[in-house]
Amino acid sequence: MNIKISDINACKALFFSISFFVGLWAVRIPDIKDQIGVEYTGLGYIFVIFSIGSVLTMVVAPKLIQLFSPKKVALISGFIINFLWILIPFANSFKLMGILSFIFGICYGLFEIILNLQATSLEKKFNKPMMSGFHAFWSIGLLSGSLLTSIFLEYKISFFINSLIFILIMSPILYFSSLTIKNIVSDPLSFLSIFFKWPLFLIILFLLGITAVFLEGGTDSWGSLYMRDYILAEGFNIGLATIAFNGSMVFGRLIGDKLKEIFGIYNFLVFSVIGSFIGSLFIASSSSLLFTILGFLVAGFCVSSIIPICYTFGASIENLNPTVGITIITIGVYGVFMIAPPALGYVADIFGIEYVYTPMLILFLSISAIVIFQKKLFKN
């Protein structure tokens, strides 16, 4: 079957709809904390449980896709995610919330891999960069879900009604968009490839991906605290780090594909990693509100296209099944989302909150050198 333009729109809708629920999750975290009666450490364990579910599932994802089909796996995962959001508002214990979070992580991880496989297949079919544009809709979905949930909170609409409205809105989009997902030829050895077939280029993409997500996850978890406790921002200004960073990411992803076409994907990647380092340097070296926000704007824009570029390259490695490449990169992404917040918390406790962006500087300086000195791999 020939891929039609409507398949592109359906893929964008899938990115948007799955992250819409992430926006609900992010804003309702205080409610979740209160209803299960835990301290911040206990809440952190819920995040870790979600990430463990995602990572473990990604290890077996190629086999599941091979046994069934991407379309079936996506439909089942999407249905379970919707059903979970009926239950989550009523989970009143750490154990129950942990179980639901683990299942949520499993289904979300499966859906993420299939989404990125579908996106890379569309890129190849149309022979043009599209990945940043698809990921832009993920960012837009997260921001939209967060904004709408914040409005519900303002008008004291209950967690359950909030979830129910989201399910009613997103279920038809998830279902009909999932029907457009194409079958992907899967290598029977794909599962073993996750453990034993890591070419050098894939290792570099893995490191590149975890470096980018360290900045993304670190800012989402620590940006507001950094603004309040180090920059000494107050009121609305405390949230400027998150707003500037994520808003800049949306803009970067919307125009990222065009910039890849103009400058070439490798040249744009070099710009992105060096720019992310410069943005992090602005954040880490200044106590000025203005320069710090400028740093978040630069970092958000430059880091926005790194993960999409990793997926594009990961699905195109010679003699490696695209499912394996996508899976390994995604494992790295979710693994870092699991360890970055507590790792940066350790840095803040030992050295002070002002040093929380120092690991990003080290990581981006290192990965910039690798990307530049391994130019031949990217060009091939």
Q: Hey, what are 205's tokens?
A: 């993409």
- 217 versus 270: the higher-pLDDT residue is 270
Supply the CATH classification number for the domain 189-380: 1.20.1250.20
Q: For 96-107, give the DSSP string.
A: HHHHHHHHHHHH
Dist. CA 211–CA 364, nearest whole Å: 7
pLDDT at 196: 53
User: What would the mean pLDDT of 340-361 be, rounded to a whole number?
Assistant: 84
pLDDT at 197: 59
Q: Hey, what are 318's tokens?
A: 């010679």
Model confidence at 160: pLDDT above 50: yes
Q: What is the dihedral of CA 363, 364, 370, 373, to 10 degrees?
A: -150
Q: How confident is the model at residue 378 (pLDDT cuts 50, 70, 90)?
A: confident
Are the beta carbons of 23 and 143 closer than 8 angstroms? yes
Dist. CA 200–CA 289, nearest whole Å: 41
Q: How confident is the model at residue 333 (pLDDT cuts 50, 70, 90)?
A: confident
Residue (of 284, 270, 276) closest to 301 by Cα position: 276
Packing angle, helices 265-285 and 289-303, rounded to 10: 160
Q: What is the dihedral of CA 79, 114, 211, 51, to 10 degrees?
A: 30
Q: How confident is the model at residue 150 (pLDDT cuts 50, 70, 90)?
A: confident
Counting residues of the chain whose pLDDT is more than 90, the rounded percentage is 38
Model confidence at 158: pLDDT above 50: yes
Are the beta carbons of 73 and 81 closer than 8 angstroms? no
Which tens digit of pLDDT belongs to each residue from 209-260? 999 999 987 887 778 778 888 998 877 787 788 788 888 999 999 999 999 9
| Other beta carbons within 10 Å of 39 | 8
Tokens 């990793």, residue located: 310
Cα–Cα distances (Å) from 320 to 61, 197, 272, 277, 326, in that order, read 15, 8, 26, 31, 10
Which of the residue ranges 139-153, 291-305, 348-362 would you say has the lowest mean pLDDT? 139-153
pLDDT at 329: 86
366 Cβ contact list (under 8 Å, min separation 6): 211
Q: Hey, what are 379's tokens?
A: 């060009």
Q: Hey, what are 274's tokens?
A: 């060096």
Residue (of 300, 264, 259) closest to 282 by Cα position: 300
User: What would the mean pLDDT of 34-38 be, rounded to a whole number?
Assistant: 88
Dist. CA 211–CA 363, nearest whole Å: 6
Are the beta carbons of 377 and 200 closer than 8 angstroms? yes
Model confidence at 40: pLDDT above 70: no
> Would you call 376 helix, strand, or coil by DSSP?
helix
Calculate the average pLDDT of the chain: 85
pLDDT at 1: 44
pLDDT at 380: 66
Say how many residues make up the chain: 380
Dist. CA 289–CA 20, nearest whole Å: 30
User: What would the mean pLDDT of 65-88 be, rounded to a whole number?
Assistant: 89
Residue (of 174, 128, 207) closest to 18 by Cα position: 174
Counting residues of the chain whose pLDDT is more than 70, the rounded percentage is 92
If you ran DSSP here, which 8-state letter would residue 88 be given?
Answer: G
Q: Hey, what are 191's tokens?
A: 């599962």
Q: Where are the domains of the chain?
A: 1-186, 189-380
Tokens 């060009």, residue located: 379
Model confidence at 80: pLDDT above 90: yes
Model confidence at 3: pLDDT above 70: no
φ, ψ dihedrals at 37, nearest 5°: 65, 50
pLDDT at 289: 93
User: What would the mean pLDDT of 190-200 be, rounded to a whole number?
Assistant: 59
User: What would the mean pLDDT of 34-61 be, rounded to a whole number?
Assistant: 80
Are the beta carbons of 318 and 202 closer than 8 angstroms? no
User: What would the mean pLDDT of 162-188 be, rounded to a whole number?
Assistant: 82
Supply the CATH classification number for the domain 1-186: 1.20.1250.20
pLDDT at 51: 81
Q: How confident is the model at residue 42 (pLDDT cuts 50, 70, 90)?
A: confident
Q: How confident is the model at residue 190 (pLDDT cuts 50, 70, 90)?
A: very low
φ, ψ dihedrals at 315, nearest 5°: -90, 0
113 Cβ contact list (under 8 Å, min separation 6): 58, 61, 65, 323, 326, 327, 330
